[in-house]
Structure 1
């Protein structure tokens, strides 16, 4: 392909990206609203469907839209999460960073009992138990880490505080990477399973002291599975 053709193609896609963003502003479309179909957008902008598809792909990369089955391109806002995904891979998962992150979680999750005891019911308890069982049975350690995050995210959701749920959603890439670092063996998964069981038992009894104790112990326990920093070699 000649250079001029590549530039023309890139220019056409950029124009459609700008046109879609203008359309979102003009129609006052917000998060959760669906864009017109690719065929409709191509007709609106007098463009090819391939160009529209490439423009949608770019908007997905920006975290502005996502594809949903039977709906098409839906407006979202994953820009903060995309940034956290980048940050999570850049951060050094050392003992120090583990303690910093878990200290933040401790401020929230250990002190969550008052909110939880007001809202949690048998169905919520059963949901936590099912997630915990799935974590234990997960064939891959990375999958076990996903269920570990899901357990804590579900716990946060039961507190019925939308801001906390949004914060954990944004932090998911970082927290999940931390959980993966703490699940380098089946022993670590079994330990997390038992600790989750203790937390669930405290929730069932509405025992604030037991809940705080077991949650605090659980958030600190993973430190033993984090690799300590290597000592510098002596010359």
Structure 2
């Protein structure tokens, strides 16, 4: 993780450098002057943010474009340097621009973390349920199924099968969790719809950040065998390009998941504070237990 964090700015800088080499584009100050207007009367850095966003939405600014230096932006917007800096920092936090020492500010598309964070907050503040989250994920995967079955090659679908094989071959709960996530992620990514991918990543973020039992897996042999069989049936239907059967298997899988999560939730909240009472043991050992010193409960 630390290596990644150290390398990321260099990787992004090189990526932007290659983009500018392939299609150099520096937005001139006089062009900016016609693109943006003075906000001196508004005295609000948010007006600068709105104008930059509107320029991106209208297509006047694109990923890789370099903004003019701060002094030029001060002149264009007719505001103080502190207002420009505040606006640029806010845009950077939102993943819309990125600064590089000695290189200025560039337009980027790094808003995934911002979107995921905003959706996570919305999920909690709106009081959304886990069932609603599963409904959204179901819709994404149903849409992906349609695209995959209609447009993807047999070779591309076979790659999805490798993830399913790893899931089936998993020997531990941790492995099953990882390969299950990889299988469903690959399914959505195979649609090649970037909006699907963004929403799926945001949902993963919400689940790991906000759902208390995200690291809890309560498995039993029957449930494990059933969910493995569902994955095999789903992939088989995709490989045979049978959308009706594939969608039915996907819905069956997510209905099972919803019920299983409900079971795990009940288990979690029942056992998170005290050990479950074994009534048979209590009856059998009643006399001897009264004679023994009282022991503290052990949380399993």
State the TM-score bracket (shorter-chain normalisation).
Answer: 0.5 to 0.7
1:207 aligns with 2:207: no
Q: Distance in 1 between matches of 2:50 and 2:229?
A: 49
Q: How do 1:1-235 and structure 2 match up within 5 A? A: 29-36=60-67, 41-42=69-70, 44=72, 56-66=88-98, 73-76=106-109, 78=111, 80-90=115-125, 97-107=129-139, 109-110=141-142, 113-132=145-164, 133=166, 144=177, 148=181, 151-159=183-191, 162=193, 165-167=194-196, 169-170=198-199, 172-178=201-207, 181=213, 184-185=216-217, 187=219, 195-223=230-258, 224-226=260-262, 227-228=265-266
The answer on whether the counterparts of 1:34 and 1:71 sit within 8 Å (CA) in structure 2 is no
Encode CA deviations 1:158-202: one digit per residue, 9 max, x unaligned: 446x4xx415524632354347756622849x7766644432222
Count residues with an aligned counterpart: 203
What secondary structure, in the 3-state scheme, does the structure 2 residue paired with 1:73 have? strand
What secondary structure, in the 3-state scheme, does the structure 1 residue paired with 2:106 have? strand
The answer on whether the counterparts of 1:31 and 1:74 sit within 8 Å (CA) in structure 2 is yes
Change in Cα spacing, 1:55 to 1:112, as seen in structure 2 (3 Å) is closer
What secondary structure, in the 3-state scheme, does the structure 2 residue paired with 1:184 have? coil
Encode CA deviations 1:126-165: one digit per residue, 9 max, x unaligned: 442455548987x996x956972x64454344446x4xx4
TM-score of the two chains, using structure 2 as the length reference = 0.46
The answer on whether the counterparts of 1:136 and 1:144 sit within 8 Å (CA) in structure 2 is no
Following TM superposition, by how much is the alpha carbon of 1:33 offset from its aligned partner in structure 2, in angstroms?
3.3
Change in Cα spacing, 1:66 to 1:217, as seen in structure 2 (3 Å) is farther
Encode CA deviations 1:23-49: one digit per residue, 9 max, x unaligned: 78779643423324xxx6256458xxx
The answer on whether the counterparts of 1:65 and 1:74 sit within 8 Å (CA) in structure 2 is yes
Q: Aligned residue for 1:7?
A: none
Q: What are structure 1's unaligned runs of at least 5 residues?
A: 1-13
The answer on whether the counterparts of 1:35 and 1:75 sit within 8 Å (CA) in structure 2 is no
TM-score of the two chains, using structure 1 as the length reference = 0.55
The answer on whether the counterparts of 1:32 and 1:75 sit within 8 Å (CA) in structure 2 is yes
How large is the Cα RMSD of the aligned pairs? 5.1
What secondary structure, in the 3-state scheme, does the structure 2 residue paired with 1:185 have? coil
Which structure has the bigger radius of gyration? 2
Following TM superposition, by how much is the alpha carbon of 1:90 offset from its aligned partner in structure 2, in angstroms?
4.2
Following TM superposition, by how much is the alpha carbon of 1:61 offset from its aligned partner in structure 2, in angstroms?
1.9
Change in Cα spacing, 1:169 to 1:52, as seen in structure 2 (3 Å) is same
Give the structure with the higher percent helix: 1
Q: Distance in 1 between matches of 2:104 and 2:189?
A: 26
Following TM superposition, by how much is the alpha carbon of 1:87 offset from its aligned partner in structure 2, in angstroms?
1.9
